[in-house]
Amino acid sequence: MSHWHTLLRFLAAGLTLVSATCPAAEGESQQTAVPTHSYEVVSRLRFDRANFTQGLEIHDGRLYVSSGLYGESMIRVYDFPSMEEVQSVPVDPRIFAEGLTVIDNRLVVLSWREGVMLVYSLPDLSLLGQSPLPGQGWGATHSGSMLWFSDGSHYLYSADMSGDAKLSRLPVTLEGRPLRNLNELEWVDGEIWANVWQTDGIARIDPDTGQVVGLIDLSGLLAEEDRLRDTDVLNGIAIDPNNQAIWVTGKRWPWLFEITLENDAD
Q: How many CB atoms lie within 10 A of CB 208?
A: 9
Instruction: Select the more confidently predicted residue: 18 or 260.
Output: 260
pLDDT value for 184 = 96
Q: How far is CA 262 from the centre of its chain?
A: 23
109 Cβ contact partners less than 8 Å away, ≥ 6 residues apart = 55, 66, 75, 91, 97, 98, 99, 100, 117, 118, 119, 120, 140
* 3 state SS of 16: helix
pLDDT tens digit string along 34-52?
A: 999 999 999 999 999 999 9
Give the pLDDT of residue 131.
81
What is the overall mean pLDDT for the chain? 88
What's the one-letter identity of residue 41? Answer: V
CATH class of segment(s) 2-265: mainly beta
Q: What is the pLDDT of residues 102-147, one digit of tens each?
A: 998 899 999 999 988 899 999 999 999 888 777 899 999 999 999 9
**In the prediction, which pLDDT does 163 show?**
75
Q: Where are the domains of the chain?
A: 2-265
**Confidence class for position 4, pLDDT limits 50, 70, 90:** low
pLDDT for residue 30: 53
- What is the band of 159 on the pLDDT scale with cuts at 50, 70, 90? confident
Q: What pLDDT band is residue 26 in, cutting at 50, 70 and 90?
A: very low
Ramachandran region of residue 138, left (φ > 0), alpha (ψ -120 to 50) or beta? alpha
Q: Is the pLDDT of residue 10 over 90?
A: no
* pLDDT band at 96; cut points 50, 70, 90: very high
Phi, psi of 13 (to 5 degrees): -65, -30
Q: pLDDT confidence of 5, banded at 50, 70, 90?
A: low
pLDDT, tens digit, 9 for 90 and up, residues 203-225? 999 999 999 999 999 999 999 99
pLDDT of residue 70: 95
pLDDT of 60 > 60? The answer is yes
Residue pLDDT, tens place only, 162-205? 777 678 999 999 999 999 999 999 999 999 999 999 999 999 99
pLDDT of residue 18: 45
